[in-house]
Each structure stands twice: as structure tokens, then as C-alpha cells.
Amino acid sequence: MKTLTRLSSWLFLFALCWPPLALASADLEINTPAITSLKNGMQQRHNELAGFYASGAVGLTRDGLVAVRDPAAAPLAQRQAMNSLVAAENQDRKALYREIARANGHPEWEDEVRSTFAQRWISKAAGGWWYQNASGAWAKK
């Protein structure tokens, strides 16, 4: 009985000392007006970015953002628009990760939310799109 009591005390103390183990995972599908607005803007922008993804000019980064991967893959006349789209997309993605963490009541989860979304974006990417692998090297899906 003393061993069981000692084990229970140790487990309780362990849980207190390691709060990440006690935290529930974030609700990534949580919705607020701010999140809805960000998602709508990103959806509209996606249609404009799709051609740049397909050409390989733009790729998905391992940290949940997008990057100009090969500017020469886009016509010169479209490069300024592409750069503006990438900047706006990254601004909204950062805001989305922050808002989801806040909506879950845990702003400190922002990095975990970002990491999870980075994996989701890459897994849902169409064949032929470019993404950064875990080491940061570009790979074609």
C-alpha cells in the first residue's frame, strides 16, 4: 500500500512538473470571427497563388509559410504580384496561427499550431508543388 501511495504521489508531482504532458491538444478547427476572416482571405488568395505553386515559383516552407522558391519560374510581368501575394499570405498565416492559439486560451501554443499546420499544408499540396523537407531542402511532391 505504501508503494502504491508513493507511486501515486510521484505521478502527481511528475504531472505538475511537466505541464506539456497534462495539456490537451489545441482545437485546430476552432472558429472565431477573426479566424473566419483570415481563412476567407487566404482562400481567395489561394486561387491567385495556385499557378505560382504549379510552376514551382512558390513553395511551402517547413515552418508553415510560403516562399518564392524560383522567381524565374514566373513571368517577369507577374513577379511583383507574386511577391505581394506571398507577403500577404504569410502575414495571414502568422495571424491565423496566433488567433487559433489565442482562441484555445493558450497563446503559448502558437509554435505548435504553426508546426501542425505546416505538416497539413504539405500533406495536402498537389502533386508537382514544391515544399521544404525537414532539413529545409526543397523537394517536389
DSSP letters, 49-60, are HHHHHHHTSEEE
Q: What amino acid is encoded at 46 in this protein?
A: H
**What sections of 18-128 are H helices per DSSP?**
19-22, 33-55, 79-103, 110-124
pLDDT tens for 23-81 read 357 798 999 999 999 999 999 999 999 999 999 999 999 999 999 999 999 999 999 99
Please indicate, yes or no, if residue 117 is contained in any of the structural domains.
yes
Please indicate, yes or no, if residue 6 is contained in any of the structural domains.
no
Q: Residue 67, SS3?
A: strand
Cell of 27: 482545437
Cell of 81: 504580384
Q: How many domains in the chain?
A: 1
- Domain range for 48 is 28-140
pTM: 0.81
Please indicate, yes or no, if residue 69 is contained in any of the structural domains.
yes
Please indicate, yes or no, if residue 32 is contained in any of the structural domains.
yes
